[in-house]
Chain A
Amino acid sequence: MTAVSPDGLVAVAVAAPFVGALVIPIFHERPNLREAVTLATAAVLFLAVLGALGPVLDGGRPQAEIINVAPGLELAFRVEPLGMLFALVASALWIVNSIYSIGYMRGNNEPRQTSYYVCFAVALGSTMGVAFAKNLFTLFLFYEALTLSTYPLVIHRRNAEAIRAGRLYLTLLLGTSLVLFLPAILATYALAGTLDFRPGGILAGKASSATVGILLALYLFGIGKAAVMPLHFWLPAAMVAPTPVSALLHAVAVVKAGVFAIVKVSVMTFGIDTLAVLGQSPWLTAVAATTVLAASLVALRQDNLKRRLAYSTVSQLSYVVLGVAILAPISLVGAAMHIATHAVSKITLFFAAGSLYTAAHLTEVSQLDGIGRRMPWTMGAFAIGSLAMIGLPPTAGFLGKWLMLTGAMETANWLAVGVIVASTVLNAGYFLPIVFRAFFRPLPAHGHAHKAGEAPWPIVVALTATAAGSVALFFAPQIPFTLAQLMIGR
């Protein structure tokens, strides 16, 4: 890839999935070739992102300016460290997820596979657009594209439940973005005269404490993909989608695009110092804390495995918001780390859930007695994912939490400290029983699970890979850690 300049790589990264989406339908009749196109596209994307990693680590900021739509509205990309981190995680996991998809979609004889892969590619392209956006307009454009491209995936089954869920999904995500996010962008433009993301922000000294508070609230709730309560309903509803969609999009790309946008706006639109000076920490902490705890409490009571995972995601997403709310540099590094580590671990858990469904048609927690002996790889990976959710070493989930906790201590934000501790207990409360059940309860004499073996090999390969990644990141966190530090200018 050395032949292409870093700026060119940015364009390649954003364009590749869209090109892939155009090519996939050509091979509608030949599934093997069609999936080969998906894998090839994912590989090209990952290599392009990887190619731009070196320059970013060296302090470069590759960029590509496409077109100026109107004064203040420029379609342009610029790779910041945080965007690099997000893109790296999403593009790497897309490869794994595509392998998994092949096993899952074929194993379950899902209909409409061509449009599934097309929408997936468009969603990933949109994710890249969000990650590399140079300004709020570009971010908003791809944010909406991400909503629209994932909608067909949510309603993939086309039954009444799926359509109802899709309606909620679209209404909440588009609604919040149009009614809250867009006015926030307009107000930012009116106040700052630009929409560019800049280190230190663009609003310093340009707005009063109250204005900044309102604006931040508009962003926080307008970016509905971050699933901050009470605007989180779309996420559990979206679980009707096929599991690979829940895994990559509703544990990684879509929701992380949400919290990524919140971190980016906090750091590069408001500026952390501005937010701290204007005393925005307390209420932001309270909102994040409420979501972290309330979502965990709801998760405790869910018997459906995917719904439990979804509420866990809602809770974990607000960790990132909490990391921002603490407004200490170290907690922001933690927030950025958490975006990456939670992605790798949560996708593992969803992979495992999909594996259980494919191999044994198990969907409820209460059905999992003894399944660990039939499906050791699946449940082993699930156990590692669970540890990461709780935040225990040797999994990567520990890192982000630890950094946020340090930040909360430094700034004497005792509410945040309490929430992190309490939620760790809650996380253990709804993940460990699943692991216990699977390995230490006897298999029921009858039922689906009795004859089950492991799921098809692509599924097992994928979930093993991400589980391994979850551990590997604990021992080798250099790249995400460096990028997170670069974000705050260290």
Chain B
Amino acid sequence: MIVENLAALQVVVPLIAAPLIVLVRRGAFAWAMAMAASAASLAIAVALLLQVRDVGVISYAFGSWAPPWGIEYRVDVLNAFVLVLVSAIGAVMVPFARRSVAFEVQDWRQAWFYCMYLLCLAGLLGIAITGDAFNAFVFLEISSLSTYVLIALGPDRRALLAAFQYLIMGTIGATFYVIGIGLLYLLTGTLNMVDMADRLPQAWPSQAQTVVAALAFVTVGVSLKLALFPLHVWLPNAYAYAPSWVTAFLSATATKVAIYLLIRFYFSVFGVAIDVNALPISEIIIALSLAAMFIASAIAVFETNVKRMLAYSSVAQIGYITLGIGLANQAGLTGGLVHIVNHALMKAALFLALGAIFLRAGTVTLDGLAGIGRRMPLTMAAFTIAGFGLVGTPGTAGFVSKWYLAVGALDKGWWVLVFLIVASSLITFIYVGRVLEVAYLREPAPEIAQADDPPLTMLLPLLALAAAIVYFGFETQWTAGIASTAAKVLVEGLR
């Protein structure tokens, strides 16, 4: 019975676990519940991935209402990949949360914290697994609303403003998305994505303007959520003032799921139905991606709050992923997809390291990190590995992403783009280098004389992520291998 309903359980487990926490409302219980639900989600996601790999696409009719009338959960290689990523990040990171959250969030709010985390997780998994465009909107809202709360729980009062800023932007994004879906519903009379893709050609090119408008609304709406430059303005503050653990979790999962949604619409709905190459969408995405890679990186170089620096770095790195989407060929899209995972691992490691530093040193400003490498050697070792991953040093996962992206650019004969890709890694090297130089070569301040590596529950997740960054720099069967399979399906589906 469990096996047939795995797809439903993927969302239902965390969704049920969240209100259970509210019933008990004790920090320790809440954490244990979150841990259990996260682990269960990971197990389910892995099972789904293995199943998809063996038998192909899984279609699950919710409440036995057959699609396209009922809500369909549809799992293929692409979203199984995303489900594993999101739930794995959750499961690996929750042990870290125990101490970090206890330090940064008031006692009486901790149970709510874990409740919100589980709702967010359920929402993200829901977006990834559903085959229904409107159902995706519902999950988008569930994840967004819980995210606003999570950000507002930050230790600094500015977190409230950051959360409010994100609330406004996020709501605009969601509105755009739902308008786009509305237009598509008018055109096709369906909300099921596969069905939509089947029916959309009838409206093309007779109602081309409406189709293009729908595409534009969906793209802008989702791009706000994934922080595509220049729709990223909510992100730096939200990341900088949210609790450390939340920043790490969001950077690794929330934007990534929004990117998945964009890919799903771009390739699986519009791409198979209409001739997207006739529209300048690919050029726009590439131009914005490049702007993100250079402008956001340049801003990061001048940031003095390391958390904000890494937030801008996220905007830049998202540029790499969307660049792969814009390239829309086998190698390029593989690069974009694999960077979803690789960037998730790297940013999770970096932000968790900052969380550990905040716990021990009470600050994450650049000057505050002086000499921290000598006080917290293992934490900074993980930070260093992840930092080099961001730069794209060979031997780290970041290199694999960039290799595929560059090969994708070469396949199109775009030599200049190759140089732009490598040149932007040089800017990354500058801001990562700034942090490392301060952390290792400055004399430690007296305030951090007592600081040392965090307890094992925090250290192990951090080191595990760092190890994964190196591991996936060599063994890429589970990252680039799957990404390549998914990219093949998507690219071949294009009309």
Contact = CB atoms under 8 A, between A and B. Distances in A.
B441 A69 contact: no
A179 B422 contact: yes
A140 B392 CA distance: 12
B395 A187 contact: no
Contacts of B404: 70
Interface stretch (A38-46, A167-175, A237-245, A384-392): A167-175
A163 B426 contact: no
Sorting the interface of chain B by its residue count into under 10, 10 to 19, 20 to 34 or 35 or more gives 20 to 34
Most chain A beta-carbon neighbours within 10 Å: one of B394, B422, B423, B425: B394
B485 interface: no
A167 B437 contact: yes
A141 interface: yes
Given A69-B476, A163-B441, A190 B419 contact: no
B393 interface: yes
A144 B388 CA distance: 11
A179 B395 contact: no
A183 B419 contact: yes
A145 interface: yes
A189 interface: yes
A163 B440 CA distance: 11
A70 B400 contact: yes
Interface string B395-417: 10000100110110011000100
Nearest to A174: B429
Given A178-B426, A186-B418, A67 B475 contact: yes
Nearest to A152: B440
Contacts of A140: 394
A158 interface: yes
A449 interface: no
B419 A179 contact: yes
A70 B475 CA distance: 9
A73 B476 CA distance: 11
A22 B4 CA distance: 49
Contact of B407 (A137, A174, A178, A189): A189
A182 interface: yes
B441 A137 contact: no
A70 B394 contact: no
Most chain A beta-carbon neighbours within 10 Å: one of B403, B407, B415: B403
A75 interface: yes
Interface in A51-75: 66-67, 69-70, 72-73, 75
Contact of B426 (A72, A145, A155, A179): A179
Contact of A69 (B423, B429, B474): B474
Contacts of B410: 186-187, 189-190
Interface string A171-204: 0001100110011001101100000000000000
Contact of B441 (A75, A155, A187): A155
A163 B436 CA distance: 12
Contacts of A179: 419, 422-423, 426
Interface in A249-281: none
Given A144-B395, A186-B418, A163 B437 contact: yes
Sorting the interface of chain A by its residue count into under 10, 10 to 19, 20 to 34 or 35 or more gives 20 to 34
Contacts of A141: 394-395
The main secondary structure of chain A at its interface with chain B is: helix
Given A186-B407, A189-B407, A175 B394 contact: no
A182 B474 contact: no
Contacts, number: 66
A490 B410 CA distance: 37
Contacts of B68: none
A39 B323 CA distance: 50
B473 interface: yes
B475 A73 contact: no
Interface in B417-443: 418-419, 422-423, 425-426, 429, 433, 437, 441
B21 to A, nearest CB: 42
B149 interface: no
Interface in A61-92: 66-67, 69-70, 72-73, 75
Contacts of B429: 174-175, 178
Contacts of B426: 175, 178-179
A148 B395 CA distance: 12
Contacts of A67: 474-475
Interface string A468-486: 0000000000000000000
Contacts of B391: 178
Contacts of A178: 391-392, 422, 425-426, 429
A369 to B, nearest CB: 38
B490 interface: no
B386 to A, nearest CB: 15
B250 interface: no
A75 B475 CA distance: 10
Nearest to A68: B476
B133 interface: no
A145 B473 CA distance: 14
A130 to B, nearest CB: 12
A163 to B, nearest CB: 6
Nearest to B423: A179
Contacts of B226: none
Interface string A154-169: 0100100001000100
B480 interface: yes
A392 to B, nearest CB: 42
Contacts of B406: 182-183, 186
A11 to B, nearest CB: 15
A36 B177 CA distance: 67
Given A140-B394, A186-B407, A69 B400 contact: yes
B394 A137 contact: yes
A189 B411 CA distance: 11
B320 to A, nearest CB: 15
A148 B473 CA distance: 17
A450 B388 CA distance: 50
A70 B422 contact: no
Given A72-B407, A155-B441, A186-B418, 10 more contacts: A67-B474, A69-B473, A69-B476, A73-B403, A141-B395, A145-B395, A167-B437, A178-B426, A183-B406, A190-B407
13 contacts: A66-B474, A67-B474, A75-B474, A170-B433, A179-B423, A179-B426, A183-B406, A183-B418, A186-B407, A189-B407, A190-B407, A190-B410, A190-B411
Give 8 closest A-B pairs by Cβ, nearest first.
A141-B394, A190-B410, A186-B406, A183-B418, A178-B422, A67-B474, A179-B422, A182-B422
